[in-house]
Structure 1
Amino acid sequence: MFKHMHGHGGRGCGPRGGWGGWAAHAEARFGGFQEDGRGGGGRRRMFDGSELRLVLLKMIADEPRHGYELIKAVEELTGGAYAPSPGMVYPALTMLAEMELIAEQPSETTRKRFGVTDAGTAHLLENAELVAAMMARLTAAGEHRARSDRAPIRRAMRNLRTVLQNRLEDGDLSDEAAHEVAALIDAVVQKIERLK
C-alpha cells in the first residue's frame, strides 16, 4: 500500500523522497510555513502532498468529513496557524478515493463526505508512527501560535506602565492612593501567578 501511494504521482513520501528522514527534519521544516499551504518566498509548506494525504486520511478515520470540514479541522487544531488550501485538499481527497483508502458516503448536502475504508484503516496502522508524528506537528503549530500570540498581554503591560508613569510624574497621588495602587498591582500579580 505504501508503494501504491507513491505510485500515484507523489514525489516520495518524506521531505527528501522517503519516510526515513522525516522525523529528523520535522522540526526544521516547521518554521516559516505558509498558512494556506502554498510555498513561496522562501517559506516551506507544513506538509508535502503525500504527508497531507496521510493527515487527511487520519482525520477522516476519526470522523467522516467533507473537504471544507477537513480544512477547518486542521485550522482549529493549529489554533489558526495553518490551514491547507482547497487546491491542496480536494486533489488529495480525489487521490485517496482513487487509491480506495476513502469512499464517498451518503450526504444530505451537495458536498462529498468521505469515510475511511478497510484499506485506509490498514494503511494508517502500517504508518501509525508517522501519523502520530504529523499530528503532533499540527498540535505543536497550535502551541507555538498560542505562545507567540501575546499581543493583548503586551498591550496591557504598556498601558499599565504608561498610566503609572503619568500618575507618578504628575505627583498628585496621595499616600493613601499610592498604597491603594500598590495593593491593586499586588492583587493582580497574585492572580496571574495562580493562572495555569
Structure 2
Amino acid sequence: MKSDQFSSHDFERHEHAERGHGGRRGRLFESGKMKLLVLHLIAQQPKHGYEIIKEISDLVGGGYSPSAGTIYPTLSWLEDMGFVQAHMTEGDRKQYHITEAGNTHLQSQNDQVKHLLERLETRREIHGNDQLLDIHRAMENLKTALRLKLKNNDFDSEQVRQIAEKIDQAAVEIGRL
C-alpha cells in the first residue's frame, strides 16, 4: 500500500499502538518517532524483530524495552508503506531490509532522526549516571505531581498559568547554573 492510500484513521490507530510500555509513564516516543527509529536501525543492517527490540532497549536504557506489540505493528506499517521488505531466513524468521523508498524517507527525516538519537542518548546518560540520580528522581517527582494534578481536573485557568510559570522559572534558573 502506498503512503497516499493510508487513511488517517489507520495512521492514528497505529500511533496509539506505538506507545508501548513507555505509554504508562508518559510517552517516550512522540508521534511517528518509533517508526523512524526502527527504520533507522534497519537501515544500518537488516534485522529480525527481536534484534530491533534489543537494540532499542540498549539505545534507550533505563529499563525501557518496547513490547512485541509495539514493534511488530510498526514493522507491518513500515512494510505496508513500502519502506521495508521482510525476507524469510532459516527457522522461518522474518528479517527486515530497508527499501529505496525507505532510504528516501529516512533521508528526508534526517534532522528528526538525529534529534531523536540525541534525546535518547541524553536519557541514557541520565539513567546511567549515579551522580545524576537525584536529578532523575526530581524529574520523575515533577512529572508525577503534574500527572496527578491534571488527572484530578481540580484546577482553573489561573492555576494552570501559575504551574506553567513555576516550571518556566525553574527552567531559567537551571539554565543559569
SS of 1:104's equivalent? strand
Would the alpha carbon gap of residues 81 and 149 (structure 1) be closer, same or farther in structure 2, given more than 3 Å must change?
Answer: farther
Aligned in 2, Cα 1:3/1:47: closer, same or farther, shift over 3 Å? farther
1:110 corresponds, among 65, 75, 92, to: 92
- Are the aligned partners of 1:10 and 1:50 in contact in 2 as well (CA < 8 Å)? no
Secondary structure of the structure 1 residue equivalent to 2:118: helix
Question: What TM-score, normalized to structure 2?
Answer: 0.62
CA positional deviation for 1:38: 4.2
The alpha-carbon deviation at position 39 of structure 1 amounts to 1.9
Instruction: Mark the structure with the bigger radius of gyration.
Output: 1
**Residue number among 36, 39, 43 corresponding to 1:54 in the alignment:** 36
Structure having the higher helix fraction is 2
Q: Which residue of 2 aligns with 1:146?
A: 128
The aligned amino acid for 2:92 is T
CA RMSD of aligned residues (A): 3.0
Q: Which residue of 2 aligns with 1:126?
A: 108
Where structure 1 has 5 or more consecutive residues not aligned to the other structure, the ranges are: 15-33, 152-196
Equivalent residue number for residue 98 of structure 1: 80
Q: Summarize the alignment of residues 1-196 of structure 1 with structure 2, pairs less than 5 Å apart.
A: 7=8, 9-11=10-12, 37-40=21-24, 43-48=25-30, 50-148=32-130
Q: Which amino acid aligns with 1:46?
A: L
Aligned in 2, Cα 1:39/1:78: closer, same or farther, shift over 3 Å?
closer
Is the Cα contact below 8 Å between 1:77 and 1:139 reproduced in 2?
yes
Q: C-alpha separation between the residues in 2 aligned to 1:9 and 1:67?
A: 22
Name stretches of at least 5 consecutive residues in structure 2 with no aligned partner.
134-177
Higher relative contact order (CA 8 A, sep 6+): 2
Q: Shift in Å at residue 112 of structure 1?
A: 1.1
The percentage of aligned residue pairs carrying the same residue is 31
SS, match of residue 139 in structure 1: helix
State TM-score, norm by structure 1: 0.56
